[in-house]
Chains A and B, each alone.
Chain A
Amino acid sequence: MKKTTTNKNFIIGFCMVLAVLVFALAGLVFAPFDPEEMDAASKLASPSFKHLFGCDNFGRDILSRVQQGTRMTLLIGLGSTAIGAVIGTILGAVMGYFGGLLDEGLMRVIDVLFAIPSILLALIFISLFGTGTFNVILALGFAIVPSFAKMVRTEFMKQREMDYVKAAKLMGAGRGRILFVHILPNVMPTLLNCVLISLNNAVLAEAGMSFLGIGVQPPQASLGRMLSEAQGHLQTAPFYTIFPGLVMIIMLLGFGLMSEGGGLKDAFRRKS
């Protein structure tokens, strides 16, 4: 019973993310308008057949901008998760497997970083290195590292004592080989779940930062940026808020459902 629900959730979530992805990528091949083209005549025009989602305060087509913004948000989410996942996995693996003084020291550092919320970490990073898309990716990637490393560390600590690791050691496998060839595949399900959660958080954080105006810079679109621009026109043009908001909710709901209750773990285990 429980298993079927989590799998169902996973599939629904997957379809949602896929739909958003197709919608965003479709913009590369077919976008009704240039997302940065301004048309003074149709400022804040309501949705119509010409502009399905309406137009923003500069007369730019919201549909095209939502497509571009979703791509940007996904790009930042994927980029920062990739950075966080690679560094976090290496750190977590080394800490969990070797333990000792190094682990103790790094753990304290992680504890300290935990005391600062990840959006604040990203804000500090931005204030040190400046804004811009690339810096946002770095900042969020950096903010993901502590939680990722902590989760991976726990997994590696569990695996460390297992027989297959001892066997590999007896057969003379090097440390690097044990860590990344023997143990890593076994922690993959947990790792992928961490990736999904991080992706969810990164998208959320990117939206928040762009909303604050310190993420993606204009004229580039991102969902958070659009929402912050839409805020001033909430009364006259609610559709401006609704469409980017809707895409964002579908995307986040999709990630949430996929990572839900280890849905991915089940999907992964069944495959192997």
Chain B
Amino acid sequence: MAKYMLKKILMLVLTLLAVSFVVFAAFSILPGDPALQKLGTEATPEKLEAMREQMGLNDPFMVRYGKWLLGMLTFDFGKSYSYSMSVTDLIGDKIFINFTMSSLALVIVCAVSIPLGIYTAKRVGGVVDKIFIVINQLFMSVPPFLLGLLLTFVFGLTFRLFTPGGYIDYHDNFIGFVGYLICPAIAIALPKCAMCIRLLKANILEEAKKDYARTAYSRGNSTTSMLYRHILQNAIMPTITFIGMVVADMIASGIIIEQVFGIPGLGRSLLSAISTRDYPVVMAIVMLIAAGIVIISTVTDLIYAWVDPRVRVTGDEE
């Protein structure tokens, strides 16, 4: 296990290093001079040169990359071009918003899809199962932001359960903050729920066909105990991996959902930074999201290996 863990963590570090290099290189080859952009119309050749020196733009590429990378390790992402403040101050407390929203969505996905997946597998071919086949297919095709608009219309404007656009900051009212994030989280989670329900059902039905299930059944286990004590353990593992992968998608669709519900999270900062060409902010947010995704996928792999020893062995060959 220790060896497997070490390998996975090493991969994590290497992947993040590579991501950071790609991101830094992509934003460095750009035409345009950040110093000129910052000075605007006040630029004289002397001021420009001084500003370049101050911003460290005269250093060679690898030196700048190294500085940026070391800075990130201490959560120093450099200075924003548009605002005279550090990127960390600019986006620091927004991470929490996205973290809460994604976590809520994750909780919803698990809470909804695992019971429903088991239920539809138990009653396969039944009315509920058939209804869910249609519902799942439908939800998988609705883009999250459209779902967000629908939820706004139904719960916000018709039932008035929340005020659309009335985001509550977590410094003011934490319960209200979480309450406001529930609808966005649902909008992100529903399409993923549909996929997870289908996957879990398919896995349960697949496992139920295997020899060990037949043996367990012939030894007098009831359908229920067979399902929960034998089949589920095997069937749920691919679902967990899938949920791990889905988190990446949920973080990404969060960027769009923020706009629907008027949440001032990382997505909004990213968009405004893109439109003002504030590259340090763009780079920082991209790195944060990528880091979040890579860390989650590593943690999922480790949990998987911890629960299922077979993975540790076969995983090594990969």
Contacts and interface: CB of A to CB of B under 8 A. Distances in A.
Interface of A: 108-109, 111-113, 115-120, 123-124, 126-128, 204, 207-208, 211-214, 227-228, 230-231, 234-235, 238, 241, 245, 248-249, 252-253, 255-257, 260
A105 B16 CA distance: 16
Chain B contact residues: helix, strand, loop or mixed: helix
Contacts of B270: 123
Contacts of A238: 153
A227 B145 CA distance: 9
Interface in B256-310: 256, 259-260, 270-271, 273-275, 277, 279, 282, 286, 289-290, 293-294, 297
Contact of A124 (B137, B248, B286, B297): B286
B146 A115 contact: no
Contact of B282 (A108, A116, A124, A252): A124
Contact of B137 (A126, A235, A253): A253
A73 B263 CA distance: 27
B18 A234 contact: no
Contacts of B294: 115
B141 interface: yes
Interface of B: 15-16, 18-19, 22-23, 26-27, 30, 137-138, 140-143, 145-146, 149-150, 152-153, 157, 164, 248-249, 251-253, 255-256, 259-260, 270-271, 273-275, 277, 279, 282, 286, 289-290, 293-294, 297
Contact of B152 (A109, A234, A257): A234
Contacts of B277: 127
Q: Which of A108, A123, A253, A255 has the most CB of B within 10 A?
A: A123
A235 B286 CA distance: 35
B143 A214 contact: no
Given A115-B19, A234-B149, A257-B137, A212 B256 contact: yes
21 contacts: A113-B22, A115-B15, A115-B16, A115-B293, A118-B252, A120-B252, A120-B289, A123-B274, A127-B273, A127-B274, A127-B282, A207-B143, A207-B145, A207-B146, A208-B256, A211-B145, A211-B256, A212-B256, A234-B157, A241-B153, A245-B149
B286 A241 contact: no
A112 B22 contact: yes
A249 B18 contact: no
B30 A128 contact: yes
A260 B293 CA distance: 27
B149 A124 contact: no
A219 to B, nearest CB: 19
Contacts of A111: 15
A249 B16 CA distance: 36
Given A111-B15, A211-B256, A212-B259, 7 more contacts: A112-B19, A119-B252, A207-B145, A234-B153, A234-B157, A241-B153, A245-B146
Given A124-B26, A127-B274, A256-B140, A116 B289 contact: yes
Q: Which of B142, B149, B297 counts the most A-chain CB atoms under 10 A from its CB?
A: B149
Contacts of B138: 249, 253
Given A119-B255, A124-B282, A208 B157 contact: no
A116 B286 contact: yes
Contacts of A234: 149, 152-153, 157, 164
